[in-house]
Structure formats: structure tokens, C-alpha cells
Amino acid sequence: MPVGLNPDEHELLARIAYRSYVDARTQEQIAEEFALSRPKVGRLLERARATGVVDIHIDTPRGLDLDLEDRLAEAFGLRHAIVAPAAEGAAEQRTLVGRSAARYLERRLTDGVRVAVGHGRDLAALAGAFRGPAATGCVFVSAMGGSPLVDAPTNPNEIARALADASDGTAHSLYAPAYVADGQVRDQLRQQDAVGRVFDLAAEAALALVGIGGTDDGCTMVRSGCLSAAEIARLRARGAVGDVLGTYVDASGRAITAPHLERVMALSLEELRRIPAVVAVACGPEKPLAILGVLRAGIVDALVVDEPNARAVLELVVTDRAEGS
Amino acid sequence: MPVGLNPDEHELLARIAYRSYVDARTQEQIAEEFALSRPKVGRLLERARATGVVDIHIDTPRGLDLDLEDRLAEAFGLRHAIVAPAAEGAAEQRTLVGRSAARYLERRLTDGVRVAVGHGRDLAALAGAFRGPAATGCVFVSAMGGSPLVDAPTNPNEIARALADASDGTAHSLYAPAYVADGQVRDQLRQQDAVGRVFDLAAEAALALVGIGGTDDGCTMVRSGCLSAAEIARLRARGAVGDVLGTYVDASGRAITAPHLERVMALSLEELRRIPAVVAVACGPEKPLAILGVLRAGIVDALVVDEPNARAVLELVVTDRAEGS
DNA sequence: CCGACACCTGAGCATCCGCTCACCACTGAG
DNA sequence: CTCAGTGGTGAGCGGATGCTCAGGTGTCGG
């Protein structure tokens, strides 16, 4: 199997590797046995690994592609990238992503951490799969208003509540709609003590948990009635590819300011950027561009996605680069 | 593949193993990434190895069985056991054993080491495959007399000469026959300066190189005319299974003293025992019992054999033990 | 034949790793 | 409910490992 190695060398490498890996001898002992210097044994072992005489195989659970995760993390400077295995149906896919995200969040939480919580079906899936982590006393705060038009479990309040219940923590609900008529109403609302205080709590969270929304007509923002089909179309026309907490970005990660932005009742991109760690969750076939845009906005610290999206996003980066920036 | 492991645990082990083995991260870095303590990561890695999540495979050259070598070394308390791959014909087998022995000796020699040299076709094969080792100034001394009846290359003098030439060392020949008429002649010869000095040199060697002879009618001692067919038959009747430098042993490793012993012009078993390291080489289908006996004599430090002999000898130990000793 | 270059080698050192040992949470029996 | 037993956890330490660097050796071109 190993090429470019003469038989004697191959044999020596195999012998030394055997002592090291099978018999668990120290390099010093091996050096003694083969009448070599200790560093020499170290180099031979390194060489055995490099030439494939020693083959280390990791039995990865079915569907888990760690290399893909690394490339994703590398491409966007993420601290963590979690890729959930591909699944057949949309619902199954969301379940898998939710589960992966839940496991990740459980590992990541430490005692008393405050978490700002966004909305969407992907976060709802996370909450559904969330089991008690080792950490206790975590505080989950809505980072966005709610909407009565969609399934309750996808609203931030419900998600925060579910997370708090599962982890023996506390939840802070935001009693405000996600979208209001105009900027003036929003500002008034935010001045309300019950609303403003929750926003302040969210803005100072140590961790934010957000979904990544698309700009198709079936996206959460439209389904929840925050935006009309005409409004989302206008956003698309302005280059919007996706949103985080109601703030839309274009494919290069720049926020689209006009004119809906002031009506959103949620943490802004700038507030999000000040939160030390932002965990984004996304899945679904309509999301690649949205994920690309949000990742390029540079606010995301960790990403949980399904495998098709992961591949698609990396593909987009490559084609983008090929076209020149 | 790994059993008794729940999926989440499997995934975690795979992730950690990937970081450790593929990305070559330190346990500290991994601990940081997964929010675990450093020792915990170490234990998980150990667990990953134990459960087979991490599978380390060593690509051994075809025919090399390192486990067999270990069992052989273990069974007889050898410092080294080298097993050459099995081959079809007797000549091919001897070539392979000779090559393995040569490589081994090359590694083992250090500058200026004095080596006592025996006789036989196996050692001749070693000499034929011997290339210059790193060591220089080695001294090769015949530890046994010669015989004009067999191929010259199997005599100690020739072997010592070949080894010396190939390694830029010196050879000391023993100008005496391997077998003489009776003990009196032997003693007289050993008192000759030219003979006695070489014996003394050999007896104080740091390393001895010997073949293991059988007790069949075609063994080297008979072929070389040292013993007649009748004599070897008498030795067999006394329990002899093999010889080292003309000294025969039985299956439990005891030397057969009567009556040929005093006629041998070679280092005795006791002299051999005083040499710090004795390397024995053996091959051929008639040898298993001979090897067993010689190994049990407790003089051998390192053994080079063909694979069939290695297996046969281990088999003999097992059956012996089963029958009770 | 000689000099320059590259490669390999082994010493020394900072870091990393595995082991031991208290300590703690959980469990099951009294 | 209490308490001994058990399994797991992280601190601390000594040995093991990987890295850097100076020195030496082989090789190739001049």
C-alpha cells in the first residue's frame, strides 16, 4: 500500500509502529530495542504515519462529515460548524438539525449563562430536542417580538420557555409583536419598561441563538405576517437573501436598511455583534444564499446546518471567488 | 461498528478523535473546544480507542507477522524474535531467513563489536545477504572448526570472512577441523597458540552468531562428515533433538554429554552462555524440535526463523504443557 | 579535487500527556 | 433517612514527546 518506500524501510516502520501503537511502548524503549536514538524513533513514527504505514481510521457515525464541518468553519472563520446528516423529507431534516443543535447547545452552556433567543422553525426543533444540559441556572431571554399568526412553538417566547424548562433555568418573555406599523410605534414600545428591560437583558446576553431566514414567499417572516409578499419581493429586489432576527442582508453580508428595518422589534445586527457568541441554526433547500449572506455579515460564531446546505454554501463561495469579487 | 455505545456518545468520541488524530490538536485545545476538562478528553480518547471508534491499522509488509514474533519472544524469554515470511521452496525459505537475519544483525552491530561465528547453511545465507551496517571495525571470529567435505561458504571461517568484508571489519579464522578423533587430540589442538588464541577471542565476544542444527541424517553435522549416520542415530536415541556449535541438546534443553562431546572443536554451551548475546538462526521443515530444545537451553538471546518453524515451535510448547511436564 | 548545499542526526528544552490520588455525586442496602 | 460502596471527576506531578538548533556527513556542480 505505501508507495515510495523500499521493503526494508517499510518493514522497519511497521515494526516500530507495532511497538508504539500495539504494544504501547515508549519511544525510548523502542529506541533501545532497535539501537536508534529516541528522536530518530519519533521521526520514523511520524514517517510511518505520513506514508500510510500507520493508518488511523475513525469510525464516524453514519452521515457525519467532520471534514465538511472543518471546511465550512475555515471558509467563514467560524468557531464551530456542525453539519447534521442529510435526510429525505423537510421535517426529518429539521429534526436532525434540531437534534444536532440541541446537543451542541447542551455542551456549550455553562452555569448561569444568559442566552438571547430568536425565532423560527429551526430553533423550535432545537428546543424540542433539547435535554437538560449539565449547566444550571441559565437564563433564556427573547431577543425578538412574537407573532400570533404562526404556530406558537416557533415564537421566541415559547422557545425560551421550552429551553428554560428543560434545563432548570429561567425564561424572560418579550411581550411585544415582532413587527409594528412604523418606527415611532417601535420606539414607544421599547421605552416601555416591560419591553425595554427584556431587550436590555437580551443585548447583554453571553450567547445568542438565532435562526437564519430566507427571502422566499414561504419564509417565516411572511408566514408570520410580519411582511407581506409584496414587501418581501421588494426586499429581494434590493438584494436581500436572508435575515437574522428580522434584519435582512444581501449576498455579501451587508444589512439592507431600507425601509422596513425600523419596524422590527428585535435586537439589531449591531447589538448581535456585541454578543460574544452567536449560534445560528438553519435548514431547508431554500437557504443556501441566506446562510451565505448571514455568514458573511460576520456575526455568527457557530453554525448548525444540514449537509446539503453546508455543501451548497461552500459551492457558492467557490463560484463567487471564481467570478472575482 | 462499535457496539455498546449510544449514538450521541459515538458522535462525541468521533469528533474528539478527529480533532486529535486528523487535526493533531492537543488535548488541551480539544478540552477548550468541547468545554471539557483535559483529563476527560484523554479518557474519551482512550475510550475511543478501546471501543474501536478509532481503529489504528498498521500496514505490515506481506508475510510479516509481528504478533507471532511477540508470542515467540514471550514464550522463551527472548529479547528479539524475528520471523521471516513463509516461502515455497527450501532454498527460497533460506534466502528469506538469511535476509531477515542480515537486516537484524546490521541493526544490532555497533562499532568494534566482536562476534563469534558458527557454521551452517542458514548462517551462510545470512552472510550472503549481509550488507554493510552502519557500524565499523567489527571483528568476526570463528567459534568452531571447519570441514572440507561441505560447501566452503557454510564453514565458520568463510562466513566470518564474508561478514568482515561486507562490513569493513576484520576476520579471525580458526585453522582446525570441527571434529577430531578423540578428546586428547582436541585438547592438544586447543593448546596450539594459533588455535587457542582464536578460541579465547571467540569466547570473549560480545555477540555470538549460531545456527541450529537438526538430528536427521541430512543435518550439517552428518553432511560435513563430523558425525556418521550411526553416531547421529545414537544421539537421537539418547534424546538429542538438535545442536548448537556441535553440542547436542534434548527436547527440554539439557546438553547431551556422552560420548561425542569431547571431540567437538567449538565453543561449549557454557562458553556460549557467558557471551552476552547469542543470535540463533534456523530454518527448514526438520527443525522445530531442534529449535525447541535449543531455546530451552536458555542460551539464545535472539532468534531468527521462518514462519512455519515459529508456529510449529509454539505449537510444541502448547502440547508439551498440555501433557504436563 | 574542492567547496557549497541540502539532508540527516542527536542534544536540550518547553510542552504535552498519562497516572495517581483525593474528592464528590449517585446508588442501593440497612 | 443514613451510610458505605462505586463510578466518575479534576488537580498535580513525573515521565514522554515534539520542536529547535547546532554540528556533521553525503552529494553534486564547478
What are the pLDDT digits (tens) for A288-309?
Answer: 999 999 999 999 999 999 999 9
Contacts of B194 (CB under 8 A, 6+ apart): B175
| Whole-number pLDDT of residue A101 | 94
Q: Which residues of B touch A61 (CB under 8 A)?
A: 7, 10-11, 14
pLDDT value at position A311?
96
Residues in chain B: 325
Residue B268 has pLDDT above 60, yes or no: yes
Mean pLDDT by 10 residues, chain A (325 residues): 72 91 89 88 90 89 90 94 92 94 88 91 93 80 84 86 88 89 87 90 95 89 83 91 93 85 88 95 93 96 96 91 67
B79 beta carbon to strand D: under 7 Å = no
pLDDT at A51: 85
Q: Is B80–A54 a contact, with Cβ atoms under 8 angstroms apart?
A: no
Contact B60 A14 (CB under 8 A): yes
State mean pLDDT over B193-214: 92
How many CB atoms within 10 Å of residue B123? 29
> In 3D, which of A263, A273, A269, A308 has the Cα closest to residue A287?
A308
Cβ contact (<8 Å) for A14 and B57?
Answer: no
Residues of chain B in contact with residue A21, where contact means CB-CB under 8 angstroms, are: 56, 58
CA distance A117 to chain B (A): 21
Q: Kindly report the pTM of this predicted structure.
A: 0.81
Q: In a mutagenesis test of the B interface, which of A5, A23, A59 is the best target, namely the one with the most B β-carbons within 10 Å?
A: A59
**Pairwise CA distance, residues A15 & A31, whole Å:** 12
- When computed from its CA atoms, the radius of gyration of chain A, rounded to whole angstroms, is 25
Taken in order of first residue, the domains within chain B and their CATH numbers are 7-51 (1.10.10.10), 66-322 (3.40.50.1360)
Cβ–Cβ under 8 Å, residues B66 and B285: no
CA of B7 to C1' of D3 (A): 36
Most confident of A2-6, A320-324, B190-194, B317-321: B190-194
The size of the A-B interface in CB pairs under 8 A is 89
Point out the residue among A1, A61, A108 whose CB comes nearest to the CB of B10: A61
C-alpha cell at B198: 582464536
Higher pLDDT, B259 or A19: A19
Residues 252-281 of B with CB under 7 A from strand D: none
Our measurement of CA B275 to C1' C13, in angstroms, reads 39
CB-CB contact of A98 with A129 (8 Å): yes
**pLDDT at B193 exceeding the cut of 90:** no
Place of cell 558425525: B227
Q: Do B58 and A22 touch (CB under 8 A)?
A: yes
Tell me if residue A220 falls in helix, strand or coil: helix
Q: Which pLDDT does position A210 carry in this prediction?
A: 97
Closest to A253 in 3D by CA, of A299, A215, A281, A294: A294
Answer whether B56 sits within 8 Å of A55, measured CB to CB.
yes
Looking at the DSSP bridge assignments, the partners of residue B147 are none
Verify whether the Cβ–Cβ distance A21 to B110 is below 8 Å.
Answer: no
B236/A253 Cα distance (integer angstroms): 91
Residue A290 C-alpha cell reads as 441566506
Which residue reads 446537543 in cell numbers?
A: A103
A45 Cβ contacts chain D strand, under 7 Å = yes
Closest nucleotide C1' to the C-alpha of B39:
D10
Provide the pLDDT for residue B182: 84
How many residues would you count in chain A? 325
**DSSP single-letter state for residue B43:** H
Higher pLDDT, A74 or B63: A74
Q: Residue B280: name the closest of B158, B126, B112 by CA.
A: B126
Provide the mean pLDDT of chain A. Answer: 89
Q: Which of B34, B57, B80 sits opposite A57 (nearest CB)?
A: B57
| Whole-number average pLDDT of chain B | 89
